[in-house]
Structure 1
Amino acid sequence: MSELVDVPWNLILPILVLQVILQVIALIDVIRNKRTNGPYMMWIFIIILGNIIGSIIYFVFGRKND
């Protein structure tokens, strides 16, 4: 437990908040549109399991440009 005291939370907390916000926005976008490059359920799993990288990959490759 003493290792958690030494963690620089003031540097890690903004990254965690950014990750959660990006995941929520990506999940809302997938659920609303359902028109993606590939199966939308696959993108949901990529967003959830891929953390911040999964959300970025969805916004770069997953959205369908109509």
Structure 2
Amino acid sequence: MLLGMVGPWQIMLILGFGLGIILPIIALVDIVRNDFRGNNKIVWVLIVIFFNVFGSILYFALGKKQRIL
């Protein structure tokens, strides 16, 4: 019965908070588990911590190419 009381705005709010928490955690785990050249690892960690979702999206778009395989 409680699910019937949840509207579309509440669902979008829950998904937004979930995305804002889960995406940076996934990005930080990926950064810590991989090697980067120079100080790139520290820079990416700081970007993800200070810019959360935007920093995570930047990392997945640009930072994954900077990893050392």
TM-score bucket of the superposed structures, by smaller chain:
0.7 to 0.9
Partner of 1:44: 45
CA RMSD of aligned residues (A): 2.1
Question: Taking every aligned residue pair, what percent have the same amino acid on both sides?
Answer: 34
- How many correspondences in the alignment? 59
User: What is the TM-score normalised by the length of structure 1?
Assistant: 0.73
**Large movers: runs of 4+ above 3 Å:** none
Q: Which protein has the bigger helix share?
A: 2
Question: Runs of 5+ in structure 1 lacking a partner?
Answer: 1-7
User: What is the TM-score normalised by the length of structure 2?
Assistant: 0.70
Amino acid at match of 1:17: G
Structure with higher Rg: it is 2
Q: Which protein has the bigger strand share?
A: 2
Amino acid at match of 1:53: F
